Amino acid sequence: MTTGPNRLRAVFKRRLAVAGTTAAALVLLATPGAAQAAITIHSFSETPSTTQAGANPNVTTAMVFCANNTACTGSELTDDDVDDVITHLPPGLLANTQAAPRCTTQTFLADACSGATVVGSVTATADSHDPSGTVFSLSGQVYNV
């Protein structure tokens, strides 16, 4: 049995450990769980227009997003949005951006980049899946910024 200052240290350490454990448990209880996204990727493909060596192919990326826990018929509605899509392409598939002149950020924001700074184009298409069959399409240039 410890006495004096050693006993006080032991009691203090025990109380500190209990207080720390209690505080950690309260923090875990108060922290919300990770949110589940309401959408999933149903299908994904990335296809070059040609596989010939030395060619500069166009690349088509197709993705179908669906609401979770559905049969993915295209009629699902969700309040979630896809914020970012990042694609990693193999070396050599993209043009050498050092070979093209750059468009400054200020010029890009003013929508005044010269044609010489264009390094590609992009088209995004979305099917509304409503009875009218409406398809939305947005095309644009990719600039070397």
CA distances 94 to 88, 98, 117, Å, are 10, 11, 14
Read off the pLDDT of residues 58-112 as tens digits, 9 standing for 90 and up: 888 887 777 665 666 655 555 566 777 777 777 777 767 788 899 999 999 999 9
At 48 the pLDDT is 84
Which parts of 31-138 fold into alpha helices (H)? 105-109
Which one of 91, 107, 126 terminates a domain?
91
105, 137: one domain: yes
- Our CA angle for 72, 36, 64, nearest 5°, is 30
pLDDT band (50, 70, 90) for residue 6: low
Q: In terms of pTM, does the model score above 0.75?
A: no
Do residue 79 and residue 55 come from a single domain?
A: yes
Same-domain pairing of 87 and 45: yes
User: Residue 15's pLDDT band (boundaries 50, 70, 90)?
Assistant: low
